Copies of this chain bind each other. A is one copy, B any other.
Amino acid sequence: MRDVAIIGVGLQPWGELWEKSFRDLFVEAALNALDETKVDKLDNMYIGCMSGGLFVGQEHIGSIMADYLGQRYLSAMRVESACASGGCALRAGFIEVASGISDIVLVGGVEKMTDVSGDGATYALATAADQEYEVYHGATFPGLYALMARNYMDRYGMTRDQLSAIPVKAHDNGHNNPNAQYRMKLSVEQVNNSVMIAEPLRILDCSPITDGAAAMILCPLDRVKELSDKAPIKIIGSAMATDSIALHDRNDLTTLDAVKVASEKALKMAGKGINDIDVTEVHDCFSIAEIIVSESMGFFAPGKGAEAAANGETRVDGKHPINTSGGLKSKGHPVGATGIAQGIEIVQQLRGEAHNQVKDAKVGVTQNMGGSGGSSVVHVMEVA
């Protein structure tokens, strides 16, 4: 396998973007990524998108995006693992370049979620859960994560204030991120008093519905000098794992096994331990997710993640900086794009270009999650 580097990254400001179509979003992010490189012509493209069919009535997403990006005839496919689709695109592109079959691969993600009316977005997102055993019986995602939060509280005595530390930190970081959907700062009191969605989760525990896209350009490490002037970032670990898609069938509600397995595999491939990681983006679709993920990855012992977050250990200047971008909560969560945007934050941290720069960041990790933890994709990156 060849060494693979990221030589260009691109986003656009995320939000509720009525004036931009599904294809506009992707093309804008892809052109921004290409602009960081000297690449004119791609060899291949992988696009993460969770549900083009339900959100915008468009499948065949690889072709439409290749066409609108001016790269007709390109090989281009869409990959999907619910909200981990972006991570899948990065993994597929990494394998493609590592294999030697292609040199220059764009990996991207896109979702336009605000064009559906009524409960259309809730229905579309629920297709990441088990349709027959969960959704049919009325479960939605806030409800599934609420079960995890309640179980965690019962077992470990997490307080409401500890849980609120997650969105407060997210918005403190997102406040400095010009592409974030919600840049206002939050107080613990605001989170504690926000509208209840699924007990104990309140509206400010939940990531928003977002229109957005993200893209990265990959190439073999030995071609970086010729293709970009930016400091190349090397992908040194990549792994994906699944778990039972239905929550009731898991071994334990306060551990995410897919996260644990993918994280261990990716770190092993990278030859790193968890304490070698300087900066991490995790999938905080709900406040409780960030806490359980941080434990399942091994940053904190079981039951210690909430306390660690409340003590500031996951802040930019903490021992384990997590979600310096603002996370899904502040930055937004266009589901197919999230995994790529996580990678972009890590690339910018490792280049020393981040909005909330972690000092001397040399190794970073992304953890992207599908559904209530039915899948997880983890990547480890390093300054080349």
Contacts and interface: CB of A to CB of B under 8 A. Distances in A.
A interface: dominant SS:
mixed
Number of copies: 2
Interface stretch (A7-15, A51-59, A291-299): A51-59
A63 B21 contact: no
A360 B219 CA distance: 42
Interface in A86-133: 88, 91-92, 95-96, 98-101, 123-124, 126-132
Contact of A243 (B72, B129, B246): B72
Interface in A239-257: 239-246, 249, 257
A63 to B, nearest CB: 4
A135 interface: yes
Contacts of A375: 60, 62-63, 76-77
Interface residues of A, number: 67
Nearest to A88: B77
Given A241-B73, A241-B75, A242-B72, A82 B60 contact: yes
B72 A60 contact: no
Interface of A: 1, 21, 23, 50-54, 56-64, 66-67, 72-82, 88, 91-92, 95-96, 98-101, 123-124, 126-132, 135, 238-246, 249, 257-258, 261-262, 370-371, 374-375
25 contacts: A21-B132, A23-B132, A51-B59, A54-B54, A54-B59, A56-B131, A57-B135, A58-B127, A58-B131, A60-B128, A60-B374, A63-B81, A64-B374, A67-B243, A72-B242, A72-B243, A73-B258, A73-B261, A75-B239, A76-B375, A77-B81, A77-B92, A78-B80, A95-B95, A95-B99
